[in-house]
Amino acid sequence: MKLILASNNKNKLREFREILEPEGFEVVSQSEAGADIEVEETGTTFDENAYLKAKAIYDMFKTPVIADDSGLEVDALNGAPGIYSARYAEEGKRCARVLSELEGVPDEKRTARFKCCICYIDEKGGKHVVTGICEGKIGYEKKGTNGFGYDPIFMYGDKSFAEISAEEKNKVSHRSDALRKFEKVIKGEK
């Protein structure tokens, strides 16, 4: 089954492909499908933003579309950066901002989670939303070279997401959790 991913983010595209292609899905980015648009994320929740992106691409092609909106929620920062994760600071400075804001915060109060909401619009226009979560905490410095975004400061056990392999991350991440739930939705359709 072919799905258009309502994103041109190469890292997200790679993760979606790594998780979904072994299950029989062909995942193409919106630009590969011919959509040269940037959808404004005006929603107030991850769910709303995922839907806005999926609906914009679905309206162009009337074919199955999947979109996600995801981010980091840090309890000591009242859930920030949350839906603003990608815009919390300029590229390359987001981890530093979170670490700076958590300076002096003790280990037990550094709890955080990655959250991923996936919106799938089927070929008939039906909307399906699932949410995946991965609990962890924020470390004290960047560690590792794998992954992207906040992965170097997000501690899953005693390692950051940037210290584990893509295969390990894809078993436990918020995106893989949401995609497993998505698979159940889509398999129930058949």
Instruction: For residue range 7-63, list pLDDT tens digits in order.
Output: 988 888 988 898 888 888 899 999 999 999 999 999 999 999 999 999 999 999 999
SS (H, E, C) 65-113: EEEEEEEEEEHHHCCCEHHHHHHCCCCCCHHHHHHHHCCCCCHHHCEEE
List helix spans (H) across the chain: 10-20, 30-33, 46-61, 94-101, 166-172, 174-189
**Three-state DSSP class for 26?**
strand
Would you state the pLDDT for residue 189? 57
Contact assessment for residue 142 and residue 106, using Cβ atoms and an 8 Å cutoff:
no
CB atoms within 10 A of CB 186: 19
Would you state the pLDDT for residue 109? 97
69 included as an active-site residue:
yes
Parse the chain into domains and list their residue ranges: 2-189
Q: What predicted TM-score, i.e. pTM, was given to this entire model?
A: 0.88
Walk along the chain (190 residues) and give the pLDDT tens digit of each residue.
Answer: 899 999 988 888 988 898 888 888 899 999 999 999 999 999 999 999 999 999 999 999 999 999 999 999 999 999 999 999 999 999 889 999 999 999 999 999 999 999 999 999 999 999 999 999 999 999 999 999 988 899 999 999 999 999 999 889 989 999 889 988 998 887 775 4
Would you state the pLDDT for residue 190? 45
Residue 157 CA to residue 79 CA, distance in Å, equals 20
Q: Bridge-partner residues for 67, per DSSP?
A: 119
Selected from 3.90.950.10, 3.30.70.3420, 3.40.50.300, 3.20.20.140, the CATH number assigned to the domain covering 2-189 reads: 3.90.950.10
Would you state the pLDDT for residue 42? 94
- Exactly one of 68, 69, 151, 177 is catalytic; which is it? 69
Q: Bridge-partner residues for 135, per DSSP?
A: 113
**Three-state DSSP class for 140?**
coil
| CA contacts within 13 A on the Cβ side of 43 | 19
Residue 74 CA to residue 43 CA, distance in Å, equals 20
Residue 171 CA to residue 18 CA, distance in Å, equals 11
